[in-house]
Amino acid sequence: MDINSVKKRIHQLRKEIDYHNKLYYEESRNIISDFDYDKKIQELIKLEELHPEFKSASSPSVKVGGKITKDFNTFNHNVPMLSLSNTYSNQDLFDFDKRVKKNLNVEEVEYLCELKYDGVALSIYYENGLFKRALTRGDGEKGDDISNNVITIKTLPLKLSESVDLEVRGEAFISKANFMMLNDEKRLNNEELFSNPRNTASGSLKMQDSSIVAERRINCYLYSLVSDKENITNQEESLNYLKNLGLNVPKTFKKCKNITDVKEYIDYWENKREDLDVETDGIVIKVNKLKYQKVLGNTAKSPRWAIAFKYKSESKKTKVLDIRFQVGRTGAITPVALLDPVELGGSIVKRASLHNSNEIERLDVRINDSVHIEKGGEIIPKVTKVETNERVLDTGKFKFINSCPACDTELKTIEDQAVHYCPNYKKCPPQVSGRIEHFISKNAMNIEFLGPETVKGLINEGLIRDVSDLYNLKYDDIIDLKFNIDEEDKIRSLKNKSCENILRSIEKSKENEFSNVLFGLGIRYVGKTTAKKLAKSLKSIDAIISADYDKFIEVDEIGDKIAQSLIKYFNDSENLLIIQKLKSSGLIFSDEDTNQIKSTNLKNKIFVISGKFENYSREELQKVIEENSGKVSKSLSSKTSFLLAGENMGPKKKIKAKDLKISVINEKEFFDLL
């Protein structure tokens, strides 16, 4: 490369890396794989080394990416939060070992290996054993104070087992199982899905409303003791010390006596890490002795005593045979790429999700394209890259459909989102069958012997139009019912035993409690938790049908969006008719399990509970209020009587309470009042 080309390439790489850093650190998004990102960084470092005349202090190879987000207080880190140098190759790993040994002038060096958790780095301060503050990495020098959000992490103790001053670092993350659940809820609510656990954790921790953060059930693993402590001489002892203080240190770390043992650890976890509930993208190898770590020191960007060995996420190349559109039970349209079948991570992959119109636009994916697919946090793989230069024909950009593939109704979009949906709620076939499939599902009425295929068969035969018809099915109606069993259009028919099982499980479903029935109705945005809260708070379907907007938002966790959706649902006479028919069939439509009322001292008083309390959890306080005839609401309104405020309550709530002239009381004042 001539000198001008080198200069140009360095400039281009810096621009690209800065752009990806900005997306990653400020918007929690990544649009290239870690591997491609690291390749760019490595190319830049190499070019800068070969041409020191182009070195610059502001190059992304020198500084840690990221900026400070605006809405939080910022604090300087006591010790800069660096990043790790990465490698994907054994050669680099052995070179690292050689370098370390040479610099220390020793024959062999002991390492402490840990998994590299794929989440968000946190620095957490304790004073006298009590949680003081949690900061993000920010620009490495100073970070955002996201304490209000971090205290929602249940596994992070607010009090340590000893009264010590401490700074500790770790990784906040959303577990795989939890991520699936969050996206299931998104799917039910017709909302755009979260892209992956890391971005969801990072986006959540930067939210201003910590009650939403709490719902994301974030977890945190600790891996570094920053403060110096007497008697602690190596990383292994630090981890054990943190564990003994009550901090969440995973057991997966291992002391390795040399680099060969390190390699064994790497090989062991390569496949095994799939079984863990936390996303990991590699291994962190740390020189065990703290004394050695000090000798080796840091570069501007990363420590010389540690390296991350990253696993390449398995990717396969295949061809897009077609792009189809699926209609969900709430009408949401999901584009799906049908692929030339290919083996990936132990299974044959035939389809990949394209998420929504934005994703199709971003990838510029077209039918017949060669694409790379990878398995992410979701079960269905995603398309990560399109080989645009392998296109033979210019077919033009793929166009998102305008009308429903099932019923031809013109599609609508949801404001601010890339989600398209079919508004033909009542007649669109996949929506009709989807609602019934939702009703019979495990979390709702659990009608276990009825499956999606049989439901479609029943609809095709005109035996059911909505969920209420299930309870009128007779043996003679369904014996020999024809239905398709799989995608290959094989026709089956119902035999005696299956008919008996189906009818028995339908009958048994009548015993389900009210919240299951309510959830089963499939009201948009009403997930299982909301259904439970509604049933517990309003007690019966009649109370729910006659409730108005204000009544709904008094219910814990119900805000504007859900309240509007409930009103819309219960204003529809067809829905009321279905409920009437279900009632006549004997389903349970009231909550028997009412709280024991102890007094009417708090009658007509509406409380909003916020923050952390010394003696009681928020749930316990809610119970006390309800037992004394008071009500608890999620959001402040002119109807709120008291804001019951604990520690670390967000400032926004305080300001709003002041504006609305609502009395703010603490835990003690509450019990005095009672």
Site for ligand IVH contains 157 (CB under 6 A): no
Site for ligand IVH contains 134 (CB under 6 A): no
- CA–CA separation, 383 and 342 (whole Å): 13
- CA–CA separation, 548 and 545 (whole Å): 8
Residue 315 C-beta: closest distance to ligand IVH, Å: 21
Please count the other Cβ atoms lying within 10 Å of the Cβ belonging to residue 639: 13
Do the Cβ atoms of 219 and 155 come closer than 8 Å? yes
Candidates 111-119, 414-422, 427-435, 496-504; binding stretch for ligand IVH (CB under 6 A): 111-119
Among 24, 25, 111, 117, the residue binding ligand IVH under the rule CB under 6 A is: 117
Site for ligand IVH contains 284 (CB under 6 A): yes
Nearest residue (CB) to ligand IVH, 82 versus 464: 82
Residue 95 C-beta: closest distance to ligand IVH, Å: 18
DSSP secondary structure of 49-78: HH-GGG--TTSTTTSPP----TTS-EEE-S
- CA–CA separation, 614 and 616 (whole Å): 6
Angle, CA 147 vertex, CA 235 and CA 225 arms, to 5°: 10
Among 121, 352, 354, 547, the residue binding ligand IVH under the rule CB under 6 A is: 121
Give the active site residue among 116, 254, 263, 634: 116
Site for ligand IVH contains 250 (CB under 6 A): no
Residue 242 C-beta: closest distance to ligand IVH, Å: 12
Candidates 43-51, 81-89, 414-422, 478-486; binding stretch for ligand IVH (CB under 6 A): 81-89
Residue 117 C-beta: closest distance to ligand IVH, Å: 4
Site for ligand IVH contains 100 (CB under 6 A): no
Residue 213 C-beta: closest distance to ligand IVH, Å: 19
SS3 313: coil
Residue 115 C-beta: closest distance to ligand IVH, Å: 6
Site for ligand IVH contains 139 (CB under 6 A): no
Residue 310 C-beta: closest distance to ligand IVH, Å: 9
Helices (H), 278-391: 290-296, 357-363
Nearest residue (CB) to ligand IVH, 302 versus 413: 302
Site for ligand IVH contains 554 (CB under 6 A): no
Site for ligand IVH contains 641 (CB under 6 A): no
Site for ligand IVH contains 303 (CB under 6 A): yes
Site for ligand IVH contains 223 (CB under 6 A): yes
Site for ligand IVH contains 400 (CB under 6 A): no
Site for ligand IVH contains 563 (CB under 6 A): no
- CA–CA separation, 173 and 120 (whole Å): 6
Candidates 116-124, 139-147, 152-160, 466-474; binding stretch for ligand IVH (CB under 6 A): 116-124
Among 93, 308, 422, 526, the residue binding ligand IVH under the rule CB under 6 A is: 308
Among 224, 235, 293, 530, the residue binding ligand IVH under the rule CB under 6 A is: 224
Nearest residue (CB) to ligand IVH, 302 versus 417: 302
Nearest residue (CB) to ligand IVH, 303 versus 646: 303
Residues 434-473 within binding reach of ligand IVH (CB under 6 A) = none
Distances (CA, A) of 430 to 305, 372, 406, 407: 57, 30, 7, 9
Among 144, 167, 171, 378, the residue binding ligand IVH under the rule CB under 6 A is: 171
Nearest residue (CB) to ligand IVH, 252 versus 509: 252
- CA–CA separation, 248 and 156 (whole Å): 7
Site for ligand IVH contains 305 (CB under 6 A): no
- Asked if 375 is an active-site residue, the reply is no
Kindly determine how many residues on this chain lie close enough to bind ligand IVH according to the rule CB under 6 A: 15
Site for ligand IVH contains 10 (CB under 6 A): no
Closest to 388 measured CA to CA, from 372, 402, 400, 399: 372
- CA–CA separation, 669 and 127 (whole Å): 27
Closest to 399 measured CA to CA, from 301, 325, 305: 325
Residue 198 C-beta: closest distance to ligand IVH, Å: 10
Q: 55-82 burial, b for 16+ CB within 10 Å, e for fewer?
A: eeeebbbebbbbebbeebebeebeeebb
What is the DSSP code (8-state) at residue 402? S
Site for ligand IVH contains 519 (CB under 6 A): no
- CA–CA separation, 210 and 152 (whole Å): 7
Nearest residue (CB) to ligand IVH, 61 versus 433: 61
Site for ligand IVH contains 114 (CB under 6 A): yes
Among 33, 59, 74, 83, the residue binding ligand IVH under the rule CB under 6 A is: 83
Summary count for the chain: helices (H), strands (E): 24, 24
Residue whose C-beta lies closest to ligand IVH: 121
Q: Where does residue 135 fall: left (phi above 0), alpha (psi -120 to 50 degrees), or beta otherwise?
A: beta
Closest to 201 measured CA to CA, from 134, 145, 302, 279: 279
One-letter amino acid at 250 equals P
Do the Cβ atoms of 192 and 417 come closer than 8 Å? yes
Site for ligand IVH contains 256 (CB under 6 A): no
DSSP secondary structure of 622-654: HHHHHHTT-EEESS--TT--EEEE-BT--HHHH
Please count the other Cβ atoms lying within 10 Å of the Cβ belonging to residue 322: 11
CA dihedral sign of residues 542, 546, 551, 557: positive
CA atoms within 13 A on the CB side of 124: 32
Nearest residue (CB) to ligand IVH, 252 versus 384: 252
Residues that bind ligand IVH (CB under 6 A): 82-84, 114, 116-117, 121, 171, 223-224, 284, 302-303, 306, 308
Question: Which residues form the catalytic set?
Answer: 116
